[in-house]
Structure 1
Amino acid sequence: MNIITSYFRKNQEVKEEPKPSNEEQSSQFNINVPVILLIGKTGAGKSTLGNHLLKFSGERSIFETSGSFSSCTSQSNSAVYKIRDKTYIIIDTPGIFDTNRPNEDVLDEISRTVQKCAYGIRAILFVFEAKRLTDEQKNVIDGISTFFGEEAFLYMVSVFSNCKKLSTENSEEFKKSWNVEVRMFVNRMGYRWAISPNPDIFPPGTHIHAKCLENLENTINSLDGVYTNELLEKTRKVQEDRARIAREENERRQKEYDEIKITEGKAKAEAEYMKRKNEDDERARIANEKQFNELKNFLMNKINDLERKKGGGCFWLETRVKLESGRVIRMSELQVGDRVLSNIKNGFEEFSEVYLIAHVGKFDHEEKFTKVGFTKPNGFKGHLQLTTTHYVFNENLSIMFAKDLQPGKTRILVSDGNNKLVPVIVDDITIEWNDEYISFYTRAGTVIAEGVLSSCYDDCPPSQSLMDLIFLPVRWWTVFKPSTHREKRLHPYVQFLETTYFYFFNFMARF
């Protein structure tokens, strides 16, 4: 018996409706069932939660777990998961933003995860330890925003792991332990949160264990529909097309097999069938590889775009300001508590305290800055560099984006060195690329930078008074508890405001 004959006997002489391959089944399955994503940093307890939800534990676990902080999950694993009468695919993702994994591997796995989410996302369960948000955990959040968009947060649930006994039993007591950052983070998720029961304290079968999982499932059920976006829709269409082509090729091969078998015999039909199948499989492999690489390139471009935007800060780090002591310093030297020149009124200089440094740093790429050129009242040339969507005051004390200033037309307010702000015409606008930036806020909401009256706000509604009102809570808070934030990462309150503004802007754009 030859190999071909054996193959056909094993498959019952090629059925009239051959079963698709595993790859085809997987593709069709994923484009017809929404997913529940388990995300979080390595060691946070994603796999453990997944096994709890699937009602598996110990040696019967579906998702491999580890007691250490090295990831057992190197690839996204999935399983069928049902909540009442609804079927989902639950996906246990690896720590795809961990620094100990090669970039190429990370991108490959993100691409595979996106492919598995083609139908749409029912819920994103962000699992993190009930301590504090770390930079690694924040990286995961940035990743979700990058690859799925800000609106994906409407489908995200915060899941606390490794909670203590009292915290698990009494949610009100647990909430009291949240610091400001955690509270803001949970609010960003629409105040959707749950607890993953610690199996060492509440093993499967106990009342508290079941109650925690029931609360989580109820939260998932409360979400409206499934989340999708242009990327997922495009991926789904590609998978549907591939599944259709596979079915058509199967039908064509079956038809050819039947015809050749009648005219030239069974052996010839089997040989031709296998030849066609190998050719079709190779074309499918090439098409799949092409689609996968296109997806990787698309995601890499999104990463690069995000990195370019993340600098979004405010001023170039080497911009100069004047302190109340009379000393002129570069913004790189600024500290919370410094009093800087913020305005000039009625012949008097006004100084205001720096109460928050939203973010400051140096990226490994260059950020787009607007360089505003002007002539000072004393005849010397001046320049101010700031991001394109940062606000500067014009002669009418209205704020304008730096990118909207018009050479030869717009007048900005510049200090004349004699305790007076003088309107001067913008001479020129050029684009500069810098990798150093700082964003900070004074209690006045303004600062005189390189002699130019500027706002502390950027990329927000064009109202200085409105932004002063929005920042009122953090201004009050820092009176009693001074901020120690001085990082590349945006301060959580500012991040919260940006996200809220994003939602509002997108909502209004629909009307």
Structure 2
Amino acid sequence: MESVTQVCGTAAMSIDGVKYNIVDTPGIFDTQKVTDDVLKEIANAVKKCAYGVKAILFVFEAKRFTDEQKNVLDGIRRFLGEEATNYIIAVFSHATKAQIQDRAIMRKAWNQPVRSFIQDIDNRWGIAPNSDYFPPDDPVHKARLGEIMAFISGMRGVYTTDQLEKSRKEQEEIRRQREEEEKRIKQEYEEKLKETAKKESEEAYKQKIEDLRQEFRAKQEEEEKLRRKEREEAEERFKKTIESIQTENRMQRQQDENLRRAEREAAEERYMKSIEMMRQEHKEQQERAETMFNNKIQEEERRRDRDEKDRREERKQAEETYRSRIEEAEKNLKNRENNETMRLMKEMQDREKKANLEYAKQIEDLRKKNALSQQELEKAKKKGCFSLDTKVQLANGKFIEMEKLQVGDRICSNVRNGELEISEVYLIAHLGHFDHSLSMTNIEFTRSDGQKGQIRTTPTHCIFREDLSILYAQDVVPGVTKILLLDETNELTPVVVDNLITDEDTGYISFYTRAGTVIANNVLCSCYDDCPQSQTLMDLVFAPIRLWTKVFPSNHRQEELHPYAKTLEHIYFNWLINGKRLLGLS
């Protein structure tokens, strides 16, 4: 809407005897914005007031005060400068009768922009009286005009052209800065547009690359799906093949298990047969020994009978000779009859006495031999093997005393190519303490590092020489015999025995490893005692019990000798004693 007033008009009025010129500016609130022409007209009006402007009245309708009007007021205020705010008075026109009559009603009708503007001008506002509601002589009319005049006359100082020029210069500077800012913003905007275009181009390129990558990935995924499908099919075929092989393996294992069971049963049967044969052989040997002993007795009795018969014959012959001699003596020498008779009788008595003594001695010797055989056998049964404090090395490297050994323990038994051989303890023949002292052989030696060592066994326990043959501990010769000693490099080194001492002990243990050997106190020893001095032969003799304990592990850990070892020793000592008898060595 175009403003009604385009140029300024003037009029004179008097307030409290003071003359004022009223300058009517163009209707700035009738336009949508503040134009340069309006501002120029306002500036001319201010310049016409040579003595300055006492008050600046902003007149606007009470019914309409929009954001556009507030923007116009702000534009005028910026044009006039901040100092002009001290001279502005707001005047509301076209008010209702109630609003003219009561200022409070007018105040309630204000919106937020109006309240903000009134506060900015220090609450200087008035209402233009409407003559249609209140004539000029009406008190309300006079009161409203009086309020406006009071604000005008109460103003201190005036708004001058210098202040206007100062404000205009400031506005020009602000405008210049704003133009420069707009130019800078425009330049930045153009650069930003270029940058945006560049980024869009790069984004388009990246998007194209990404599309190609996605296409490539999709192609790869498709190929991967094909490969996965082929792999799954191959895995399925492989699983079927594996299942087929596993089925065949199960069948084969079942067949092998049946075969092993049959072999085990056959081995057990053979073992039982061998045990039965050994028992039968032992029984037969006992019977043969008893038969031989009885035959000896019978032979001695027959020999005694023969001797007795011979003596009777000799006596008879002697008597006949005596009689003949007596008769002859009676015929020849009666004087010598008595002496010759006495001599012959004494000779016969001496022969008979000598024959009886010889027979009694032979009988006593046979009895002593039989008793000695039984004593040797009982003594052999009571012999031990190692002393209980002898140490062995377990598979984990720990050293323990033999007293703590258990069936199933894996211990160091030999050395091959610098590696320790580990063997299982499959049988503890007997273990405990005698109620009497047991003769022990203490073999002393010196290690390669200069430390002294020893090993204590029964006298007839077997140990290894440097040539891997075995001999009894009691047969070791100090300074001559070399035994095999385990050194720090896990090698068996020949060491000369320093000394051989016989002492006594009550503790004993006898056990067997599957290798038949053991490294005790670092000395290579055989597990066998009181036996033929052949490691191979003894390994063969103990083969049945090694096989048996693989199937049926032994839990024997008693003072009494294990039945198998007892049977072997009984057979061996019977053979040994009978062999001595047959050879005439006893």
Higher CA-based Rg: 2
- What interval of TM-score do these two structures reach, taking the shorter chain for normalisation? 0.3 to 0.5
Structure showing the higher strand proportion among its residues: 1
Higher helix share: 2
| TM-score, scaled to structure 1 | 0.44
- Scaled by the length of structure 2, the TM-score of the pair is 0.39
Which one has more relative contact order, counting CA pairs under 8 Å at least 6 apart? 1
